[in-house]
Structure 1
Amino acid sequence: MAAFVHFLGLCFLGILVVVPWGAIASDEDPLQDVCVADVHEVNGFACKSIANASDFVSSLLRNAGNTNNRLGTSVTAAGAANFPGLNTQGLSFARIDYAPGGVVPPHNHPRASEVLFVVSGTLRVGFVTSDGKSTLFTNILYPGDLTVFPRALVHFIINVGDSHALSLSGLDSQNPGASLLPTVLFESNPTIGDDVLEKAFNLPQNEIDMIKAALKA
């Protein structure tokens, strides 16, 4: 029996030696929606030959964003594209300012989970599961509270207080992506066919037209 176990051990070691590690390792997560092969590009950004101290600090989130818009919110994001020191770290950060009633519409981040911290104000947040049951998990958050939005799940945020609110979010991707459902469904380029939208939402053509016009306005 001991000889047989010894033989199996030798076989396993032989496999480790013969099979390249790259063949049994998983691929890294993609950093963008698509990545058509180009020998001159990499999945992300190439590294600078010489790094400077200024590459690792950013004032992008120092000032409040303009919430004078239809949604009453402003999202200011810091990722590898505008904060070079984040490149290859798998991280990005965002500041969200809210007017009273301001909302971040249902959306998802296909490449990241998100942790949100409430700095000021009162927020109602929620996410919906993708297990076929579409279970909604929702909570009211106050200053100092944290919540998490699991990777790729549709979630939303709304300011339910009487004053302006501020939250900060950390995401575990340097390019998490963001798909706003209203934009994806009704303002894609080129547009999704109205025949698809009519059947998907069980709405007549005139109401589809009204939704598109309202979003454009």
Structure 2
Amino acid sequence: MTTDHPYVFRFSASEPNRFDGGELQGAHEQNFPVLRDQEGSVYLIHLEPSGIREPHWHPSAWELNFVISGLARWTMLGTHPDGTYHNDLFEAGPRDLVFAPRGFFHYFENASDTEGLDVLVVFNTSTQEPNDDIGIVGTLNSLPRSVLAASFGVSVSAFDQIPDEIKPVVITRRHTGTE
């Protein structure tokens, strides 16, 4: 039985957004009307080998990340339950659930150079991605180079190679440094 129903979202029929490094498909209030005013959205992220979900934070949402397949390497920066502000690095595999609190700077990457990674992400917002993301690229590029230089304690020329566009990247891949 393949009849459409307002309470069913078919990821298999949804066209993914494709990026260098992977794909993103989402069910949100714009394409799944039953979510309107429900403060919820769901995304299926596929990362190719060496794929990265851009480092980012959400000002108005937390997220639950369920690893379907593959191995995810996580970085999470924020004020933790023990009251300290620090960076956590960890891995999560199939059937693991990772919580990213609202306002925590975080990202995950595919830990494998040969296998894909699939993660289902649930947000407590109906906003379409990346409209609730503040990514590292946009963050850096919204600041004057002189402010960045002062913050990092380096010369302004240290930032000459950073592209100056303010745009969401969402998904990319690790570079070896030789590109």
Structure 2: stretches of 5+ with no match in the other structure: 168-179
| Amino acid in the other structure paired with 2:59 | P
Pairs within 5 Å for 1:51-200 = 54-60=5-11, 65=16, 69=20, 72-130=21-79, 133-161=84-112, 162-175=114-127, 177-186=132-141, 188=142, 192-200=143-151
- Structure 2 distance, partners of 1:115, 1:74, is 18
1:106–1:156: 8 Å Cα contact kept in structure 2?
yes
Q: Which has the higher helix share?
A: 1
Task: Tell me by how many angstroms 1:125 deviates.
Answer: 1.3
Q: Which has the higher strand share?
A: 2
- Structure 1 distance, partners of 2:150, 2:105, is 22
TM-score, normalised by the number of residues in structure 2: 0.75
Tell me: CA distance 1:92–1:181, structure 2 relative to 1, closer, same or farther (3 Å).
same
Structure 1: stretches of 5+ with no match in the other structure: 1-52
- Structure 1 distance, partners of 2:85, 2:60, is 20
- Residue in 2 aligned with 1:207? 158
| Amino acid in the other structure paired with 1:184 | T
User: 3-state SS of the aligned residue for 2:161?
Assistant: helix
User: How many residues matched?
Assistant: 159
User: 3-state SS of the aligned residue for 1:183?
Assistant: helix
Task: Tell me by how many angstroms 1:141 deviates.
Answer: 1.1
- Structure 1 distance, partners of 2:164, 2:78, is 30
- Structure 1 distance, partners of 2:150, 2:64, is 35
TM-score, normalised by the number of residues in structure 1: 0.63
Determine which structure has more spread, i.e. the larger CA radius of gyration. 1
Task: Tell me by how many angstroms 1:123 deviates.
Answer: 0.7
2:60–2:102: 8 Å Cα contact kept in structure 1?
yes
Task: Tell me by how many angstroms 1:171 deviates.
Answer: 0.7
- Structure 1 distance, partners of 2:92, 2:69, is 10
Tell me: CA distance 1:112–1:215, structure 2 relative to 1, closer, same or farther (3 Å).
closer
| Amino acid in the other structure paired with 1:181 | I
Task: Tell me by how many angstroms 1:66 deviates.
Answer: 6.4
- Structure 2 distance, partners of 1:61, 1:139, is 31
With a CA cutoff of 8 Å and minimum separation of 6, indicate the structure with the bigger relative contact order: 2
Task: Tell me by how many angstroms 1:56 deviates.
Answer: 3.3
- Structure 1 distance, partners of 2:145, 2:36, is 40
2:56–2:135: 8 Å Cα contact kept in structure 1?
yes
- Structure 2 distance, partners of 1:178, 1:61, is 25
| Amino acid in the other structure paired with 2:145 | D
Q: Percent identity?
A: 26
